[in-house]
Amino acid sequence: MTTGSDRPAWFSDEERLANLDRARTLLRQTTMPAKEAFDLAESLKKYNEFGYARKLFGRIRDAGDYTSLEDKVVKIGQRHALCTYKDTDLAVADRFKHSLEILDEVDRLGCKPFQQQESLGFAAPSISACGRSRGSVRTYCARLRTT
């Protein structure tokens, strides 16, 4: 837990709590505006609230409604994978495995080379954490190069 003295200058408990409240409200609704959910998830990620950010990114992807976010489809998937990887509410093995599954789905979207590098940056720690060998990382890299 961070204390007041070791928090960044921009950190605001009031803003964090308000964002958590808004996230709970959005997640209870059957539909949500994609742009609002994205902005809220990005903000929650800054405050290390990875569970709620993961759920919001997941809802955006599940709905498939990228209104006003068309250029961020890959980024949303990558952020979803990152928040899944960092969500301590999930079992360790499950979060690593699930983050790799999300990245596999993202890679099928036709990533640009710079986006593939970002996916690899997220995938390598998950692959290692799952107890897979360096060969698995190389295989993942080779698969990215062929897609």
Look up the CATH number of the domain holding residue 127: 1.25.40
- Phi, psi angle pair for 95, to nearest 5°: -70, -35
Overall number of domains in the chain: 1
- Residue 133 belongs to some domain of the structure: yes
- Residue 4 belongs to some domain of the structure: no
- Residue 117 belongs to some domain of the structure: yes
- Residue numbers in the chain where pLDDT is lower than 70: 1-10, 109-147
- Residue 6 belongs to some domain of the structure: no
pLDDT at 144: 46
pLDDT at 54: 97
- Residue 43 belongs to some domain of the structure: yes
Question: From the CA atom positions of the chain, what is the Rg in Å?
Answer: 16
pLDDT at 121: 58
In angstroms, the CA 117 to CA 123 distance is 10
pLDDT at 2: 47
pLDDT at 105: 85
The reported pTM is 0.74
- Residue 8 belongs to some domain of the structure: no
- Residue 125 belongs to some domain of the structure: yes
- Residue 2 belongs to some domain of the structure: no
Which domain, by its residues, includes 27? 13-146
